[in-house]
Amino acid sequence: MSKKYANWINENQQELIEISDKIWEFAEVGFEEYKSSTLLAETLEKAEFFVEKNVAGIPTAFYASYGNNKPVIAILGEYDALPGLSQISEPIKRPLKEGASGHGCGHNLLGTGALGAVLAVKEAILSGDANGTIRYYGCPAEEKFNSKGYMINAGAFKDVDITLSWHPAFMNAINDVSLLAINSVKFRFLGRTAHAAFDPQNGRSALDAVELMNVGVNYLREHIIPDARIHYVITNGGEAPNVVPDKAEVYYFIRAPERSSVEELYKRVIKIAEGAALMTETKMVINFLGGMYNPLHNDVIGNVLLSKMRLVGAPRFNKEDREFAEKLKKTLPPGSMEAFSRFIPPNLRDMAKQILEQPLNRMILPGIGKGKIVPGSSDVSDVSRVTPLGEIATTCQIMGSPGHSWQNVCTSGMSIGHKGMLTAAKILALSAIEFMNNPEIINKAKREFEEKIKDNPYISPFPEGFKPPFINQ
């Protein structure tokens, strides 16, 4: 039976590749994925899925269901691009369109791979080889906002039993590393304008407040836990040096390994902002943009995913793919693998050496990052706090390719990315069918989930009454 639905994906791979390539060409940034979300939703409607659009009031968010009974197995899809990363699918840096966006995280593959998986599971339900409901979640703006958290608040995940996800990477593995929880927030200061030379005593500089806040936060760094991260950019510093700025703004990311640590650190940053306003006699306004949790990966689900990954095998790259990868690898900065190396346990050093020498990873790795923290953030983490969740990675990128890079845009639009995407679709589909046919595994995954959250239930990171920061607001 497993081979049957993996073969279904093979037989329909051309349509999936065409959808992925269209989304790669659209390259729409978060909350602007109108063409991408419409293409995915219409494909699912054509396949007789029930599609709910405008989920949580977000125009590019949707979910699509097939089946009408339990269990409900969810598969997450994303499709937003990154600004300024337009790139042709050739191993030389050259934008497809100057200044345009590009899929530097491979979300065109991610969303389409998830699509292929749910369509294959639908075939299994139709054939009587699986029993339950398969659901695709179209999740926008992962790169800039916790849309999944907002969808959670709207009740979109309330009846889900198991959630599966994947992400393009330069390896084939179960994703069991942790990420950083985060708050994304802008601090705006309002002062009083004046002529900076003729009448400075009557000015109250909002820019002074921003700079004093940043100085205070930089002193705070000495007194935070080592794994926490605080970064900022000044988004408005005034218009002219001879005019005291009455408006200024600074944009902060505040991250830590646990949500509770982020909340504690956030309170301290607010106190510094309040102090800066007091020193400059300005008014401080907080514009909270979003927050996320750190993930809880489910070991029971991970074991099922790993068994299906071994059954399907790694992506099969040909000579042309390997030659392409060799050329692209020459464009990587020195030391590109250093960040990856620290996640490798001592007993796997020899295996890792073999892996690092491959321009395209051909091996299926055991879990290598459990207990480690990758210093990034994802709203998949919030879903892992409300349903049992497991996640995989498959090779869609060259070994050592940096995240959010033009090299990733390149492979996301050609055969290397396509093959990794189709492999992921097969693994997710076979895992979903396995859960539908084995309720005891679902129960076991739920018991593990309940044990992990019993002392730390999910509380929305958004303030009460919070609305998503859409592009047009």
Which residues touch 17 (CB under 8 Å, ≥6 apart)? 418, 421, 422
Summarize pLDDT for 326-373 with one digit per residue, the tens: 999 999 987 766 666 666 666 666 766 677 778 898 889 876 677 788
What six digits make up the tokens of 413?
């639009």
What value does the mean pLDDT take over residues 187-209? Answer: 96
Per-residue pLDDT at 473: 43
Domains of the chain (ranges plus CATH)? 2-178+295-453 (3.40.630.10), 181-292 (3.30.70.360)
Residue 197: Cβ within 10 Å count: 9
Instruction: For 32-45, write each residue's pLDDT tens digit.
Output: 999 999 999 999 99
**φ and ψ at residue 143, rounded to 5 degrees:** -75, -15
For residue 366, what pLDDT is reported? 72
Q: Is 233 exposed, middle or buried (0-12, 13-18, 19+ CB in 10 A)?
A: exposed
Nearest to 433 by CA among 134, 117, 130: 130
For residues 454 and 176, the model is more confident at 454
Strands in 59-156 per DSSP E? 62-66, 72-78, 133-139
DSSP assignment of 7-27:
HHHHHTHHHHHHHHHHHHHH-
pLDDT(471) > 50:
no
For residue 472, the model assigns a pLDDT of 45
Measured CA to CA, the distance from residue 115 to residue 122 in angstroms comes to 11
pLDDT band at 389 (very low <50, low <70, confident <90, very high): very high
Q: Once rounded to an integer, what is the mean pLDDT over residues 129-154?
A: 95
Name the helix (H) or strand (E) containing 418. Answer: helix 415-437
Exposed/middle/buried for 450, CB within 10 Å: 0-12, 13-18, 19+?
A: exposed
Residues of the chain above pLDDT 70, percent: 94
Residue 466: pLDDT band (50, 70, 90) is confident
User: From CA 18, how far away is CA 398, in angstroms rounded?
Assistant: 22
Q: How high is the pLDDT of residue 254?
A: 98
Is the confidence at residue 449, as pLDDT, over 80? yes
Residue 398 has pLDDT above 80, yes or no: yes
Average pLDDT taken over every residue of the chain: 93
- pLDDT attached to residue 371: 75
- In this prediction, residue 99 carries a pLDDT of 95
**100-109, 119-128, 174-183, 264-273: segment of lowest average pLDDT:** 174-183
Listed in sequence order, the residues at least 6 apart from 211 whose beta carbon sits closer than 8 Å to its beta carbon are none
Confidence of residue 468 (pLDDT cuts 50, 70, 90): confident
CB 157 within 8 A of CB 388: no
- What average pLDDT score do residues 43-65 get? 97
Q: What pLDDT, in 10s, does the model give residues 231-285?
A: 999 999 999 999 999 999 999 999 999 999 999 999 999 999 999 999 999 999 9
DSSP at 366: P
Q: What is the pLDDT of residue 56?
A: 94
Q: Looking at residue 37, what is its pLDDT?
A: 98
